[in-house]
Chain A
Amino acid sequence: MPAPIELVCPAGSLPALKTAVDHGADCVYLGFKDATNARNFTGLNFDPPQMREGVAYAHARGRKVLLALNTYPQADNWPSWTQAIDRAAEFGVDALILADPGLMDYATRTHPQLRLHLSVQGSATSYEAINWYAERFDIRRAVLPRVLSLPQVAHVVANTAVEIEVFGFGGLCVMVEGRCALSAYATGESPNCNGACSPGKHVRWEETPKGMETRLNGILIDRFADGERAGYPTLCKGRFEVNDETYYALEEPTSLNTLELLPELARIGIRAIKIEGRQRSPAYVAQVTQVWRAALDKLAAGGADAFSVLPGWMAELNKVSEGQSHTLGAYYRPWK
Chain B
Amino acid sequence: MMETRPMKLALGPLLYYWPRQSVLDFYADIAETSVDSVYLGETVCSRRHELRLDDWLEVGEMLAAADKEVVISTQGLIESESDLKVLRRIVRQSADGAPGFRVEANDMGAVRLLGEAGATDWVAGPTLNIFNPATLQLMIDAGATRWAVAPEMSGEALAAVRAALAAPVETEVFAYGRLPLAHSARCFTARHFNLQKDTCEFRCLAIMDGITLRTREGEPFLTLNGVQTQSARVHNLLGDLPAVRQNAEVLRISPQGSDTRRVVELFRAALDDAQTPAAALAASRELMVEAPCNGFWHGRAGAEQYVAA
- By a CB distance below 8 angstroms, the chain B residues around A236 are 182
Docked-complex contact B84 and A128, CB < 8 angstroms: yes
Whether A129 pairs with B301 at a CB distance below 8 angstroms is no
Query: Contact: A240 with B77, CB < 8 Å?
Result: no
Neighbouring A residues of B113 by C-beta, 8 Å? 128
- Residue contact B131 to A147, C-beta cutoff 8 Å: no
Shortest CB–CB separation between residue B174 and chain A, in angstroms? 11
- Could you tell me if A175 and B219 are in contact, using CB atoms closer than 8 angstroms? no
Q: Is A152 an interface residue (CB 8 A)?
A: yes
Pick from B17-25, B188-196, B262-270, B275-283 the stretch touching chain A: B188-196
Q: Please state if B196 and A334 are interface contacts (CB–CB under 8 Å).
A: yes
Range class of the B interface residue count = 35 or more
* Interface residue SS majority, chain A: mixed
Partner of B184 from A132, A175, A217, A221 at Cβ < 8 Å? A175
Provide the bound-state CA to CA distance between A178 and B79, in Å: 15
A interface residues, Cβ below 8 angstroms from B:
72-76, 78, 99-103, 105-106, 122-129, 131-133, 135-136, 146-149, 152, 155, 174-176, 178-182, 184-188, 190, 192-193, 217, 219-223, 236, 239-243, 245-246, 249-251, 330, 333-336
Q: Cβ of A178: which chain B residues have Cβ within 8 Å of it?
A: 129
Nearest-neighbour CB distance to chain B for A254, whole angstroms, equals 13
Q: Is the interface of B mostly helix, strand, loop or mixed?
A: mixed
Instruction: Please tell me which one of the listed residues B108, B181, B215 contacts residue A185 in the complex, with CB atoms under 8 A apart.
Output: B181
B164 CB–A CB distance under 8 Å: yes
- Contact of B221 with A72 in the complex, beta carbons under 8 Å: no
**A75 near B157: Cβ-Cβ < 8 Å:** yes
Which residues from B are CB-within-8-Å of A333?
A: 196-198
Q: What are 26 inter-chain pairs, A to B, with CB distance below 8 A?
A: A75-B160, A101-B135, A102-B133, A123-B107, A123-B127, A126-B78, A128-B78, A128-B108, A128-B109, A132-B115, A133-B108, A174-B186, A175-B183, A179-B182, A180-B182, A181-B151, A181-B181, A184-B152, A184-B301, A185-B152, A185-B295, A185-B302, A186-B303, A221-B215, A241-B218, A330-B186
Determine whether the beta carbon of B132 is less than 8 Å from that of A73.
Answer: yes
Assuming A72-B131, A75-B132, is B217 touching A220 (CB within 8 A)? yes
Q: In the complex, A178 Cα to B216 Cα: how many Å?
A: 28
Contact in complex: A181, B127 (CB < 8 Å)? no
Chain B neighbourhood of A187, CB < 8 A = 301
Q: Which of B79, B87, B136, B229 contacts A152 (CB 8 A)?
A: B79
B301 and A78 within 8 A (CB): no
Q: Assess whether B285 is interfacial by the CB under 8 Å rule.
A: no
A185–B300 Cα gap in the complex (Å)?
8
Nearest CB in chain B: distance from A4 CB, A? 28
Q: What residues of chain B lie closer than 8 Å to A78, measured between beta carbons?
A: 132-134
Q: Is B122 in the interface zone, CB < 8 Å from A?
A: no
- Type the 1/0 row for B167-208, where 1 means its CB is closer than 8 Å to any CB of A: 000000000000101111111100110001110000000000
Given the known interface contacts A100-B131, A106-B134, the answer about A219 and B219 at a Cβ–Cβ threshold of 8 Å is yes
A101/B138 in contact, CB under 8 A: yes
Chain B residues closer than 8 Å to A185, beta-carbon distance: 152, 179, 181, 231, 295-296, 301-303
Give Cα distance in the complex from A174 to B77, angstroms. 14
User: Could you tell me if B133 and A132 are in contact, using CB atoms closer than 8 angstroms?
Assistant: no
| Contact residue among A73, A74, A246 (Cβ-Cβ distance under 8 Å from B216) | A246
Give the Cβ gap from A256 to chain B, nearest Cβ, in Å.
13
Whether B186 and A335, one on each chain, are in contact in the complex, defined by CB atoms closer than 8 angstroms, is yes
Given contacts A179-B76, A217-B301, contact A132 B135 (CB under 8 A): no
- Chain A positions within 8 Å of B289 at CB level: none
- List of B residues within 8 angstroms of A129 by Cβ: 78, 107-109, 111-112
Q: How far is the CA of A103 from the CA of B136 in the complex (A)?
A: 11
Q: Are A188 and B131 in contact (CB under 8 A)?
A: no
Known: A148-B79, A152-B79, A250-B188. Contact between A240 and B112, CB under 8 A? no
Q: How far is the CA of A184 from the CA of B301 in the complex (A)?
A: 6
Q: A181-B182, A185-B231, A220-B216 are in contact. Are A126 and B84 (CB under 8 A)?
A: yes
| Bound-state Cα–Cα, A221 to B221, Å | 10
Q: Is the CB of B216 within 8 A of A249?
A: no
B294 to chain A, nearest CB (A): 12
Residues of B within 8 A of A74 (CB): 131-132, 157, 160-161
When chains A and B are docked, how far (Å) is the Cα of A243 from the Cα of B207?
13
What's the least CB distance linking B34 to chain A, in Å?
A: 30
Could you say which residues of chain B place their CB within 8 Å of the CB of A190?
152
Check if B299 sits within 8 Å of A188, measured CB to CB. Answer: yes
In the complex, the chain B residue whose C-beta lies closest to that of A245 is B192
Contact between A132 and B196, CB atoms less than 8 A apart: no
